[in-house]
Structure 1
Amino acid sequence: MNIVIVGGGAGGLELATRLGRKFGRRKKANITLIDRNNTHLWKPLLHEVASGSLDMGVDSLSYRAHAYNHHFRFKLGSLSGIDRNTKTITLASLTDEEDQEVLPERKVDYDILVLALGSVTNDFGTPGVKEHALFLDAATQAEKFHTKLLNGLLKLNKNAEQDKSAVYRIAIVGAGATGVELSAELHHTFNTMKAYGLNELKPSQLKISLIEAGPRILPALPERISASAHKELGELGVDVKTNTLVARGEAGAFITKDDQAIEADLLVWAAGIKVPDQFAAMSDLETNRINQWQVKPTLQTTLDNNIYALGDCAACIMPDGKQVPPRAQSAHQMASHVYLNIARQLKGEPADKEYQYTDYGSLVNLSRYSTVGSLMGNLSKGSMMIEGRIARLMYVSLYRLHQLALHGWVRTGLRMVSDRINKIIRPRLKLH
C-alpha cells in the first residue's frame, strides 16, 4: 500500500516518522513524504530565525537523512494537482535559481493520501501588503527578514555617530502569538548587538509598533494572558496599537483606515492564516472560506475516505460547533490520530476512530524577558496562569516534545546536550 503525505511540517513529519518506524521498517507499506523544501524547522521558531536567535544551518533537520533513518521515502516537490479518480497527485516541475529545470512534472500514485500542507499568512486582500511587507511563513522568508534587520542596524549604528536622534522603526501587523513573540525577540536582538561592535545603539533608537485590529493583543488567548503580555511589551518600549485597522501598505508605511501613516523601515504582516488559493483549486474536495479542507471527525475529507487532512490546512469542527484552532499542539494531536486510523485501515478494520481536540493551554514567549500562558486548558474547571521561569521551561518543553516524536529519547537527549554546548561556543546571535 502506498501512503503519501504532502507537507513536512510538524504534523506531516511526525506522521511519516511514526508510519515509517511501524510499517515502513517491516515493508508493510510504502510511506512517502513530499515537501517543497529540503529541510524542516518547527514553524513556531521562525520568529527566532528572523531575529537571529536561532541559526537555520544548525537547528534545521534534513528530510532525506531523517527519511533514511526512519524507513520512509522523501520526494522534493510542490503539489500542483490531485486526481481522485486515478488516485494520483501531480508535482510541479522544479527549477533552480536560474530558472533551469531540475526535475520535470511528476505523478505519484497513492492508496492513502494525507494533506498536511499547513497555512500561510492571510493578507485579507489588503492593497500593497504583498508588495511592501515581509511575511514569516517559511525559513527563506525568515532569513530574508534577518538579513534586512542586520543591514538596517548597521546603517543605524553608522548614522548614530553623527545623529543621536536616528531611529530604526519596525511595524508589525497582527498581535497574535507570532507578532507578540517577534516584538520581544527583536528587542532582545537590538540590545545584544551592542556586544558585537555596534556601540552607538541605544534602546531608545528602536521603535517597534505592534498593530492589532481588535481590542486586545493575543485575541485567541484568555484576557488575563493578553493583559500580562501587553504589560510586558509596554515595559520593553513596544508601542502597542489596538483597535487599529490597516487599510493598505505603501513603501515605508502602513496606512490605517482613518488615513494615518505608521511609518517604518521594516514592515511585517503577521495577521491571520489561510491555505493558499492554488491548493483549494486543484481538486473538488470541499473547502471553507480560507481554503481549509473540510474533514469528518475521523479527519478524512468529507468527499473521500482515502484522503485525510490535518493541521492548519484542515477544517475540523468540534462537537461544540467551534473549529479546532491552528496551533502546533493541534497538528501533533491530529498526526497521532491519523496514524491510528491508517493503522486500522492497514489491518483491514474501519477507520472510524473520531478525533477529539484536547486543549493543553497556551504559552507565549517574550524572548529572554518573560513567558506567559495558561496550562491545563479544558482539562480542569479553569486554566492555571503561569509566567516567568516555570512558563519558560514549559515553553521549551513543547519543542522538546516535537523532537521526541521525531527522534526518540536517546537522540533527543543528545540534541539537548549539543544545544547546551552550542550556547557556550556559539555567538548569542546569528551575525550573518
Structure 2
Amino acid sequence: MTESSLRHIVIVGGGAAGLELATKLGDSLGRRQRARVTLIDRSRTHIWKPLLHSIAAGSLRRSQHELNYMAQGHWHHFRYRNGEMTGLDRALKKITLAPTVDDEGREISPESHLSYDTLIIAVGSVTNDFGTPGARQFAVPLETPEQASRFNRRLVNACVRAQNQGSAVRPGQLYVAIIGAGATGTELAAELHHTARAIIAYGLDRIDPEHDLRIVLIEAAPRVLPALPERISASTQELLVKLGVEVRTGARVAEVLADGVKLSDGEIIPSELVVWSAGVQAPAFLAGIAGLETNRINQLAVRPTLQTTLDDDIFAIGDCASCPRPGFPQNVPPRAQAAHQQSDFMVKQVGNLLAGRPLAEFTYHDFGSLVSLGKYSTIGNLMGALVGRGFLIEGTFARLMYRSLYKMHEAALHGRTRTLLGLVAPGARPAPTVKLH
C-alpha cells in the first residue's frame, strides 16, 4: 500500500489535546504505515497552556518548556505543517491554510490547501473580551507564549523606567490590574506578588514594593474562581488578601483605558499594566464555518461520538468543542482535563474508524480542580471516581498533584520512562540537535 493511499488524518491545533493526539496516533498508526497523520499549527513550538501565567510573571523560563513541533513529528511519525486554518470545503474535503510570513513580512509559504479523510479540530480557545471598549487596544491577553513574554517584558520595563526617572514613582505607575479571577487570573496575581518584588530586589532601590506596587484582581462574579467549589474560592481569596492582592468581586469592567480600568459604576482603577483573563471563546474563524453548527462562543457542536453534528468526517475536541454531557445541565467544561480525556478517547475512536467498528460515546469524568498560587500554596479538591467524593486539599500534597498534571502531559508526549528520567536528570528531555525555531 502506497503512502498516498493511506487514510489521511489531519489534526488542526497543537495545544495539549491536539499534540497529544498527533503523538499517540503517530506512534500507533504512522509508525506502522496504517495511516498518515498531519498536525497543523500556526506556531512552531508548543507550551502547556497552564504554564503561561508563570511565563508572564517571570517565574518560569519559556525556553525550558518549549517543544518544537517539527522535531516532535520527526520523533513520533507524524507530519507537521506550519500554518493557520482559515477555510474549509466539506464537499472536496479540503482545508485552507493562510500564507505565513516572517518577522520582516516576507512570505515563507503561500496560501495552500490540504486534503483530509478525517479532520479533527482542536484549536482550543481564545480570550473573550465581550466587546469591552479598549480591551483589545490596552489589555494584554494570555493566550500564547508570545503574549506571556510580552507582558513580562512590559513588567520589567515598567520597573526599570520607574527606577531611572528623575521623579518619584507616581500613583498607578506600578499598578497591575487583572481582569477575571478564574484560574489564570488568580494564579497570575499570586505569582506577580512574588516575582515583582524579586525584580525590584535586583538593585531597583528607588521603588518601595509595599507602597509603589499594587495588584488588583477584578471579577464580575460575587467570588473569585466562580466555576470552582465555594470552599476553594474562599480559601484562595483569603490567601490573596493576606498577600496584599486587592480583590474586587462583583465589579464589572466598562472600559479599559490607556492608564487604567473603568468600572461600570464609574470608578477608575489606575493601572500601568492590564491583563485580560475573563472569559473564553473558540476562535472566530469557526463561527458557522462551512455550514457547521456552532454556538454563540463559536464552539463546534458535536455529538457524544465527538463528530460534528452535520459532518461525520469532522471531529472537534478540547475547548473548541461544545460536547453534551448526559445527565448534567451543562456541556463538558472547557478545561485541561476534558481536553486530555478527549484526546485519549479519540485515539480509540480513530482505531474504531479504521477497523470499521461502531463509534463509542465520550464520557467526561471530573477529577476535581487545582489552583497553583506560586511559591505560597496550591489548593484544590479531588473528587469523582478518583476518591469517591470531593475533599479539599492544599499545601505540599496539592502542589505535588498539580505538578503531576504537567508530568502526565509530558508522559503523553515523551513516554513515561523519559518523563521519569527528566525528574532526576533534566537533560534527559529530548531536544533536536539543531535549532529549528
TM-score, normalised to structure 1, is 0.94
1:19 CA drift (Å): 0.3
Q: Is the 8 A contact 1:160 1:201 kept in 2?
A: no
1:40 pairs with 2:46? yes
Q: 1:334 aligns with which of 342, 365, 383?
A: 342
Instruction: Give runs of aligned pairs for residues 177-256 of structure 1, distance below 5 A.
Output: 177-204=183-210, 205-256=212-263
1:364 pairs with 2:371? yes
1:96 pairs with 2:102? yes
How far apart are the structure 1 equivalents of 2:184 and 2:44? 24
1:110 CA drift (Å): 0.4
> For residues 162 and 171 of structure 1, do their structure 2 counterparts lie closer, same or farther at Cα, with a shift above 3 Å needed?
closer
1:382 CA drift (Å): 3.3
1:338 CA drift (Å): 1.2
How far apart are the structure 2 equivalents of 1:260 and 1:83? 49
> For residues 395 and 20 of structure 1, do their structure 2 counterparts lie closer, same or farther at Cα, with a shift above 3 Å needed?
same
Aligned letter for 1:36? R
1:165 CA drift (Å): 7.7
Instruction: Give runs of aligned pairs for residues 72-91 of structure 1, distance below 5 A.
Output: 72-91=78-97
1:262 pairs with 2:269? yes
TM-score, normalised to structure 2, is 0.93
1:196 CA drift (Å): 2.9
Q: Is the 8 A contact 1:254 1:261 kept in 2?
A: yes
1:373 pairs with 2:373? no
Greater CA drift, 151-160 or 333-342: 151-160
How far apart are the structure 2 equivalents of 1:249 and 1:85? 44
1:304 pairs with 2:311? yes
Q: Summarize deviations over 1:280-317 as a string: whole Å, max 9, x none.
A: 24321100110000000011110111111000000011
> For residues 113 and 163 of structure 1, do their structure 2 counterparts lie closer, same or farther at Cα, with a shift above 3 Å needed?
closer
> For residues 160 and 55 of structure 1, do their structure 2 counterparts lie closer, same or farther at Cα, with a shift above 3 Å needed?
farther
2:220 counterpart SS class:
coil
How far apart are the structure 2 equivalents of 1:84 and 1:261? 49
Instruction: Give runs of aligned pairs for residues 59-138 of structure 1, distance below 5 A.
Output: 59-138=65-144
1:96 CA drift (Å): 1.7
> For residues 209 and 160 of structure 1, do their structure 2 counterparts lie closer, same or farther at Cα, with a shift above 3 Å needed?
farther
Aligned letter for 1:34? I
1:156 CA drift (Å): 2.9
Q: Summarize deviations over 1:180-207 as a string: whole Å, max 9, x none.
A: 0000111110222245333444331320
> For residues 140 and 301 of structure 1, do their structure 2 counterparts lie closer, same or farther at Cα, with a shift above 3 Å needed?
same
Q: 1:324 aligns with which of 328, 332, 337?
A: 332
1:53 CA drift (Å): 1.2
The match for 1:386 is 393
The match for 2:35 is 29
Aligned letter for 1:189? T
How far apart are the structure 1 equivalents of 2:192 and 2:427? 23
Q: Is the 8 A contact 1:5 1:115 kept in 2?
A: yes
1:143 counterpart SS class:
helix
The match for 2:433 is none
1:174 pairs with 2:185? no
Q: Is the 8 A contact 1:7 1:118 kept in 2?
A: yes
Q: 2:25 aligns with which of 19, 44, 53?
A: 19
Gaps of 5+ in 2: 1-6, 430-437
How far apart are the structure 2 equivalents of 1:377 and 1:167? 46
1:421 CA drift (Å): 11
The match for 1:426 is none
How far apart are the structure 2 equivalents of 1:338 and 1:165? 53
**Total equivalences in the alignment:** 421
How much identity, in percent, do the aligned residues show?
A: 50
1:124 counterpart SS class:
coil
How far apart are the structure 1 equivalents of 2:277 and 2:18? 23
Q: Is the 8 A contact 1:156 1:166 kept in 2?
A: no
Greater CA drift, 371-380 or 105-114: 371-380
2:379 counterpart SS class:
strand
The match for 1:428 is none
1:326 CA drift (Å): 1.0
2:10 counterpart SS class:
strand
Greater CA drift, 52-61 or 162-171: 162-171
The match for 1:395 is 402
> For residues 419 and 35 of structure 1, do their structure 2 counterparts lie closer, same or farther at Cα, with a shift above 3 Å needed?
same
Q: Summarize deviations over 1:82-122 as a string: whole Å, max 9, x none.
A: 11101111101111222221101111110000000000010
The match for 1:9 is 15
Q: Is the 8 A contact 2:255 2:263 kept in 1?
A: yes
Q: Summarize deviations over 1:12-33 as a string: whole Å, max 9, x none.
A: 0000011000000000000000
Aligned letter for 2:154? K
How far apart are the structure 1 equivalents of 2:388 and 2:421? 38
> For residues 378 and 263 of structure 1, do their structure 2 counterparts lie closer, same or farther at Cα, with a shift above 3 Å needed?
farther
Q: Is the 8 A contact 1:157 1:201 kept in 2?
A: yes
How far apart are the structure 2 equivalents of 1:242 and 1:195? 31
How far apart are the structure 2 equivalents of 1:107 and 1:346? 24
Greater CA drift, 273-282 or 392-401: 273-282
How far apart are the structure 1 equivalents of 2:302 and 2:321? 7
Q: Summarize deviations over 1:221-267 as a string: whole Å, max 9, x none.
A: 00000000000000110000000000111111111111110110001
2:194 counterpart SS class:
helix
> For residues 166 and 73 of structure 1, do their structure 2 counterparts lie closer, same or farther at Cα, with a shift above 3 Å needed?
closer
> For residues 382 and 161 of structure 1, do their structure 2 counterparts lie closer, same or farther at Cα, with a shift above 3 Å needed?
farther
1:164 CA drift (Å): 9.7
Aligned letter for 1:372? I
Q: Is the 8 A contact 1:161 1:200 kept in 2?
A: no
Aligned letter for 1:322? Q
Q: Is the 8 A contact 2:281 2:299 kept in 1?
A: yes
Greater CA drift, 377-386 or 226-235: 377-386
